[in-house]
């Protein structure tokens, strides 16, 4: 059994698509998989949320969303605005540990970035990962701004004793510009390891078979796929 926490360098970087890709590849290998989203924000009751996308793309059937708040804010702020109690990350940790007893893989998808607050005491996804002793996979943007965001995320993880599972680019453009192509080497330098994957932009709208192919091609073997960072680098056509 294993637990993997998925965080992003920011909101909207592709965490849900990466989570679905991880789940799809694990299911393909015959593993039992559970996915937990501790708090969903910005989605009203009855509307499809991130876990619905994970289910649609991967086929995973064991999913849990302990809390949902309608406003597109941090979980702590969204709970406060809605007048609802915040999600308890202690309870989430208990749920994840229980799921890990009966599933080969439990994936925990965060909200926003690593240090976004879940309650008024300042509990974060970093605290949850530390309590679970789980490695953290960082999902990053491809373009401008990603280096600073990624460096800050990795430094925050190191300062909290969290084990990095790698860096994945959540949405690699079909026609990458100079910034995107140059950023690959810098992301690897920041992570002190080869890139753990790069999923193509638009992967989230693919049907399930096509998404499974994209997941295999876009995630490294350590994550269940066939992505080869050395081969990927040869496609970048850097100047000089």
Assign residue 57 the CATH number of its domain: 3.40.50.300
The total number of residues written for the chain in this structure: 240
202-230: buried (b, 16+ CB within 10 Å) or exposed (e) per residue?
A: ebbebeeeebbebbbbbbbeebbbebebe
User: Tokens for 177?
Assistant: 């510009």
Q: Which residue has the tokens 């005491």?
A: 121
Residue 240: predicted pLDDT: 64
> Quick one: pLDDT band at residue 29, thresholds 50, 70, 90?
very high
> Hey, what are 96's tokens?
């994840």
Domain count, the chain: 1
Q: In whole angstroms, give the CA distance from residue 187 to residue 194.
A: 9
With contact defined as beta carbons under 8 Å apart, do 1 and 100 qualify? yes
> How do residues 186-219 score in pLDDT, each as one tens digit?
999 999 999 999 999 999 999 999 999 999 999 9
Q: pTM for the complete prediction?
A: 0.97
Say if 81 falls within a structural domain.
yes
Q: How high is the pLDDT of residue 3? A: 98
Pair of tokens at residue 142: 């491809």
Residue 67 lies in a domain: yes
Place of tokens 């989570």: 19
Q: What's the mean per-residue pLDDT of the chain?
A: 96
Q: Is residue 151 a part of any domain in this protein?
A: yes
239 within domain boundaries? no
Share of the chain above pLDDT 70, in %: 99
The reply to whether 15 belongs to the active site is no
In a domain, 60, yes or no: yes
Name the one residue in this structure whose structure tokens are 């300042």.
Answer: 122
* Catalytic option among 37, 68, 117, 141: 37
**How far is Cα 174 from Cα 60, in angstroms, rounded to an integer?**
28
Q: Which domain holds residue 11?
A: 2-234
User: Is 85 part of a structural domain of the chain?
Assistant: yes
In a domain, 240, yes or no: no
Angle at 104 between CA 98 and CA 108, to 5 degrees: 60
For residue 1, pLDDT beyond 80: no
* 127-139 pLDDT, tens digit each: 999 999 999 999 9
Is 109 contained in some domain? yes
């Amino acid at each position: 059994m294993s637990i993997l926490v998925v965080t992003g360098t920011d909101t909207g970087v592709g965490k849900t698509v990466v989570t679905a890709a991880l789940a799809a590849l694990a299911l393909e290998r015959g593993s039992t998989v559970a996915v937990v989203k501790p708090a969903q924000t910005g989605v009203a009751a009855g509307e499809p949320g991130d876990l619905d996308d994970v289910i649609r793309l991967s086929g995973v059937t064991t999913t849990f969303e302990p809390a949902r708040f309608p406003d597109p804010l941090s979980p702590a702020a969204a709970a406060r605005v809605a007048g609802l109690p915040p999600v308890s990350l202690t309870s989430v940790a208990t749920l994840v540990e229980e799921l890990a007893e009966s599933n080969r893989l439990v994936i925990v998808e965060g909200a926003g970035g690593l240090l976004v607050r879940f309650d008024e005491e300042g509990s974060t996804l970093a605290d949850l990962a530390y309590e679970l002793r789980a490695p953290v996979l960082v999902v990053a943007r491809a373009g401008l701004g990603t280096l600073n965001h990624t460096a800050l995320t990795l430094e925050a993880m190191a300062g909290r004793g969290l084990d990095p599972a790698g860096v994945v680019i959540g949405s690699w453009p079909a026609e990458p510009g100079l910034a995107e192509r140059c950023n690959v080497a810098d992301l690897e330098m920041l992570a002190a390891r080869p890139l753990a994957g790069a999923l193509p932009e638009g992967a989230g709208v693919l049907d399930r078979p096509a998404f499974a192919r994209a997941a295999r091609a876009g995630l490294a073997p350590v994550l269940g796929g066939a992505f080869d960072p050395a081969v990927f680098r040869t496609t970048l056509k850097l100047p000089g």
